[in-house]
A = this chain, B = another copy of it.
Amino acid sequence: MVTIKDVAEKAGVSVATVSRALNGKPDIALETKKRILTIAKELNYIPNNIARAFVTKETKCIGVIVADNSNPFYAEIIRGIEETTMKQGYSIILCNTNEDIKREIKAVQILKEKRVDGMIINPTQKKIEHLKILKKEGIPFVLLNRNIEELEVDCVKNDNIYGAYQATEHLIKLGHRRIAHITGPLYTSSVRERIEGYKKALDAYNIPIKDELILNTSLTLSGGYEASLKLLKLPDPPTAIFAYSDIMAIGVIKACKELRIKIPEDLSLVGYDDIEVASFIEVPLTTVRQARYDIGVIITNLLIRRVKRPNSKKPPQCIVLKPELIVRSSTKAINGAKG
């Protein structure tokens, strides 16, 4: 590997001068600079960013910790993050947690050891001690989709209460009264918030809240599948289901297929996220749209601003984006009730 020293020798200058040329620093004659750059190219010099990072304490790497990069919801956010970081001269190190707190803790540790300049974390929220430590250590990080208030760090999320309210209200206006909600573990804030929105809507329309209609399972396709199997086999099954995510809603569709329950005739279904395929699935899905790519862009910019001003006194902010109800054909009025 050719180093800055090789370039210096060939050019008959010192390493300091080469460093200046390579980094576009001032205090160097334009001609010397040109000559050095030419020689560097001739020698096929490749800057050693490890050595550079060692000196500057900047790796130009951002750690990204998400539940699952293959979940279309996160996949699209990651795409937004990747493009934005790349544009600003950063790369991303990607880690999945599978909603497993052990893996989350391990990922944070590894990223600390790798000395990333900052992290974007979609926290499981089962434990947060490691994040408290992270904050104390002064490593910039931002929370994705799930806020942890007591942590007081930057966060980008959507208005889950509002989104869930819209979804539930839509079902209520279609005449539904037995509306189930299939969701995830309660330690996850987005789960709690969507439950809150769901309950608020029921309350607003004087519909009693039945706890047996709220199912906490895993935030996966098979979670949605299994929960809806249980639900639909109830003696008095719900006429509508509001699923935490489109992925879980697809699990509901799978269960309905097996039980020969027709959507929307026998069951109305609302998802959340509006993933790309939501409009192409068997029953085009009524859902709550989140601007996923934009979330990636916004959160990246937020983080990089922090990275560049590590001791800014600017208080942490939580950017809350309004989601939007998208009505397709998986929901239908019940008993001839008005839409």
Contact = CB atoms under 8 A, between A and B. Distances in A.
Interface of A: 44, 46-51, 53-54, 59-61, 68-70, 72, 75-76, 78-79, 82-83, 86, 91-96, 109-115, 133, 221, 250, 253-254, 276-277, 280-282, 284
B83 A78 contact: no
A79 B86 contact: no
State the 9 A-B residue pairs at the shortest beta-carbon distance, nearest first. A70-B75, A70-B79, A49-B113, A277-B277, A75-B75, A94-B94, A280-B281, A70-B76, A50-B115
B46 A50 contact: no
A113 B59 contact: no
A48 B110 CA distance: 10
Given A46-B113, A50-B115, A277-B277, 6 more contacts: A50-B59, A91-B94, A92-B93, A92-B94, A221-B276, A253-B280
A282 B133 CA distance: 48
Contact of A53 (B44, B47, B50, B254): B50
Nearest to A292: B70
A106 to B, nearest CB: 8
Contact of A114 (B72, B86, B91, B94): B91
Contact of A282 (B59, B221, B280): B280
A78 B70 contact: yes
Contacts of A46: 109, 112-113
Contacts of A69: 69, 75, 78-79, 82
Contacts of A53: 50
A213 to B, nearest CB: 24
A46 B95 CA distance: 19
A60 B114 CA distance: 9
